[in-house]
Amino acid sequence: MKVLLSGRSHRSNVTTKRPTPMDASILVVGSDEFQTTLLERLRYIAACTVEVTSSPKEVLPLIQAEQPDVLILQASQVGSLDLCRQIKQQTSLAWIYCILIAEQPQNAIEEILPGWNWELGFRAAALEGGADAYMWLLPNHGKGDMSWEAGLTLQNHLLQAQIQTGIGRVQIYRNLMRTNDVLSAIALADPLTELNNRRALDWELPRQIQNARVRDVPLSLLMLDIDYFKSINDNYGHPVGDRVLQLFSARLRHNLRFQDTPFRYGGEEFAIVLSNTNGQEAQQVAQRLNRAIGNQCFTVDNNRALNITASIGIASLQPDDDANGVSLLNRADQNLLRAKSNGRNRVICEANQPSDETPS
């Protein structure tokens, strides 16, 4: 069950100094009575989406799917502390702020063993178990005397502070992850062509190889080189060469399938990972690219259109290829060199595949 909560702090009529953003989320795990108590309390001190559930044993898949900012657990429920441990042991979930709440007042428990500081003992166990915070919670309805009212007000403030602290930490984490994503995208992107760069290929190819082997599906790789690119730079200048690289990259993108991933390997050389593609299918893709590149001029500017061709080498994943893709890359590159030495503007396949060594 999800509910949207907003409002003022209960009984104290003090609004939060740092308003909780509306996209913040809280998951409450506990008995029906515990949920009712928390929902009534949260209704006045938070502005967020709250979801409730009852069983700690069944909540981990929900946490993995929903990834709430704050998790509030009923301390007395079996499995609550173990759930904290499981969350903190998973890198993908460890940032979730876990608050363990005991709804039984300390003085009632101390009657069992007088003189023992149960609150400190339970708090130490909770923090050692992975909880970020631990607190006691008075019932929402009591005798109405001044001491109970004062205690309830203080606990409301504490709960509010714990939730704000948790959401604040999560926001810092999320912002850091967004920054890291931007930096990673910058590090893995070629600024000229807007394709992924060689570093990205070094990261992606092993992942694709592992996926192909786990799923038992084929994988192929194309290596492309723009023919006579040095003469373009020499005759027209590097700005024209850069523009050709941009137009060439755009034409690649527009003529690839959804599962194909292009990379600028370096200079005028490109690589394309063909997922779930065998050698024969890779040859068809390569020949289509060869025609798309060579059959239409590249309009560099209003006064200049250049005829561009490309040489392409193909390799398909073999059982004895290494997991990093070094041997796969080497074979594709060797076939590319064969295509260039045999006259350029052609596709060269694996030795065990039918080869079209004539211009496409």
Q: Active-site residue 268, yes or no? A: yes
Which residue among the candidates 58, 268, 281, 350 is catalytic per the annotation?
268
- The CA distance from 185 to 162, in Å, is 34
Helices 326-341 and 198-215, axial angle in degrees (round to 10): 110
Residue with tokens 């009984």: 11
The SS3 assignment for 196 reads: strand
SS3 188: helix
Burial profile 25-52: b = 16 or more Cβ within 10 angstroms, e = fewer: bbbbbbeeebbebbbebbebbbbbbbeb
Could you tell me what percentage of the chain is helix, strand and coil, using 3-state DSSP and rounding each to the nearest 5? Answer: 45, 20, 35
User: Which H or E element spans position 29?
Assistant: strand 25-29
Burial code (b: 16+ CB inside 10 Å, e: under 16) for 94-103 equals ebbbbbbbbb
> Could you give the CA distance from residue 235 to residue 255 in angstroms, rounded to a whole number?
28
Is residue 335 within a helix (H) or strand (E), and if so which, with residue range? helix 326-341
Residues with catalytic annotation?
268
